[in-house]
């Protein structure tokens, strides 16, 4: 029996990509796995049993923690996980996210050289020399390195990386309304779908929509940081600008069906958003809803003519967005969206095969 440990640095709720790995492992013969997750939000009451091991966060929790509390917990996490790994004696590890890889760098490269997968999901602290050096050693000694965006190659150590797209392979359950039909709707609905943050960009677009009756701006999800957006929306009191609240996963298809455009315009100053590929890139293509992006980002590059780069800091109206949307050719857009999804499926299948091959190496 081969035993695999999946080391994660968040609550399970915030790891949709975890299922990508567990689905693969569950199809293998004579293989079992444990998930070692960081319980940073105890209010979630997540699964804790023999195969789901909760690593406790000590203190107020990550949303309220100061720098000292975070640093203390990072150190505790490192030694807690190392102790678990020594006791469990896994045959193979899957390390999800950069931070646990860097924290466990010495242990991984010494005890699991060539016997772990390193999965990188975001820009972290690569600008720090010590962090980058440790990350380089983790990358060089892994069996396989996986990234969620090819844009990450611009800040990561040089290596061979496989791209695992944030697409789960699902398909719409209902008929998708044509782009031409949606264009006839008024107002044209822009939707923010998911955990709501990036207040500066949201407030800038709200102000533009306030002055343009051709558009509406609806928010679906919980506010992730402050309540600036909901407070401003309440203050404005405009029926074309609404907070719709949280939604269930099964409601996502309906929300995309109601939307003309999806908001993914998070700025381009931070590497965290400049090089990441949002789930909206795939969901937009799947449900045939074009995405609004920030110029100079990997999302802008990948979308090409079929995503609109909205430079919120340098415009005072939405005429450009309106004209682009109304001129968008339905046939060409559908071909782009279909190819995007088929390429993601194909590349993910290649990644699955590489993962299985890596796990099965004796």
Which mean pLDDT values do the consecutive 10-residue runs of the chain (362 residues) have?
92 83 92 90 75 83 71 90 94 96 96 96 92 97 96 94 89 89 96 92 96 97 86 95 93 96 90 90 96 96 96 94 97 96 95 95 70
Cut 0.95: pTM above it: no
Return the SS3 of 135: helix
The pLDDT, as a whole number, for residue 62 is 60
Under a CB-based contact definition with an 8 Å cutoff, are residues 34 and 53 in contact?
yes
For tokens 């917990």, name the residue.
73
The pLDDT score that the predictor gives to residue 60 is 67
Query: How far apart, in whole angstroms, are the C-alpha atoms of residue 219 and residue 193?
Result: 6
What pLDDT does 173 receive?
A: 82
Count CB neighbours of 231 within 10 A: 12
Question: Which of 127, 109, 256, 131 lies closest to 189, judged by CA?
Answer: 256
Q: Strands, E, within the chain: which ranges?
A: 2-7, 31-39, 52-56, 92-96, 116-120, 144-147, 162-163, 188-193, 215-220, 241-245, 261-264, 291-293, 307-309
């Amino acid at each position: 029996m081969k035993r695999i440990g999946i080391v994660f640095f968040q609550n399970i709720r915030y790891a949709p990509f975890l299922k990508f790995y567990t689905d693969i492992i569950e199809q293998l013969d004579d293989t079992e796995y444990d998930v070692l997750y960081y319980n940073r939000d105890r209010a979630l009451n997540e699964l804790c049993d023999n195969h789901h091991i909760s690593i406790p966060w000590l203190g107020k929790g990550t949303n309220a923690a100061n720098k000292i509390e975070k640093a203390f917990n990072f150190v505790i996490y490192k030694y807690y996980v190392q102790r678990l790994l020594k006791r469990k004696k896994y045959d193979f590890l899957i390390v999800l996210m950069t931070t646990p890889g860097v924290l466990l760098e010495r242990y991984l490269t010494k005890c699991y050289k060539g016997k772990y997968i390193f999965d990188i999901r975001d820009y972290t602290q690569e600008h720090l020399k010590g962090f980058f050096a440790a990350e380089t050693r983790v990358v060089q000694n892994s069996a396989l390195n996986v990234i969620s965006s090819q844009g990450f190659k611009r800040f990561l150590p040089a290596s061979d990386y496989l791209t695992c797209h944030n697409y789960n392979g699902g398909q719409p359950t209902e008929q998708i309304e044509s782009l031409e039909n949606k264009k006839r709707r008024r107002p044209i609905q822009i939707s923010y779908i998911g955990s709501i943050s990036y207040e500066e960009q949201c407030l800038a677009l709200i102000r533009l929509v306030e002055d343009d009756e051709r558009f509406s701006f609806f928010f679906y999800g919980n506010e992730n940081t402050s309540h600036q957006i909901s407070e401003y929306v309440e203050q404005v009191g405009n029926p074309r600008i609404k907070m719709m609240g949280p939604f269930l996963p099964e409601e996502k298809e309906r929300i995309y069906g109601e939307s003309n455009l999806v908001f993914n315009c998070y700025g381009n100053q931070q590497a965290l958003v400049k090089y990441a590929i949002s789930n909206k890139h795939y969901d937009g293509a799947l449900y045939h809803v074009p995405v609004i992006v920030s110029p100079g980002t990997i999302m802008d590059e990948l979308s090409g003519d079929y995503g609109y780069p909205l430079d919120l800091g340098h415009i005072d109206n939405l005429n450009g967005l309106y004209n682009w949307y109304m001129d968008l050719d339905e046939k060409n857009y559908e071909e782009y969206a279909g190819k995007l999804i088929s390429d993601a499926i194909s590349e993910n299948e290649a990644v699955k095969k590489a993962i299985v091959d890596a796990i099965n190496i004796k």
